[in-house]
Amino acid sequence: MEEKETIEVLKQKIIKLEKKIDLYQQTKHPLETTSEKLASAENLLTNIVNGNPTPTFILDKNHKVVYWNQTFETISGIKAKDIIGTDEPWRANSY
């Protein structure tokens, strides 16, 4: 009799855990979707900026360079990796 009770208690615990897992997956899914959409939008913006034949850079609200396209690299000689994150886009004018 004791073994049957233990099995029943374990079954109930499994059911509760499965419900918690379902709830977690439901709340996690919208976050993943939002994250995926953000990543997709950032990728699209990067492709647009990099594919633009016009020298282009973008600043954030703190005036830090967040995008520096390949055309600007070619014209200025400044690599994106060296200018992104700085507040010195004016350096391109000195070339």
18-41, pLDDT tens digit by residue? Answer: 888 888 777 766 666 788 888 889
pLDDT of residue 33: 76
**Cα–Cα distance measured from residue 42 to residue 92, given in angstroms and rounded to the nearest whole number:** 24
Does the CA dihedral 26-31-32-37 come out positive or negative? positive
Residues 6+ apart with CB under 8 A from 3: none
- Comparing 78 with 9, the larger pLDDT belongs to 78
**Cα–Cα distance measured from residue 62 to residue 69, given in angstroms and rounded to the nearest whole number:** 19
pTM of structure: 0.57
Question: Over the stretch 48-82, which tens digit does the pLDDT of each residue have?
Answer: 888 889 999 999 999 999 999 999 999 999 999 99
Tokens of 92: 């391109």
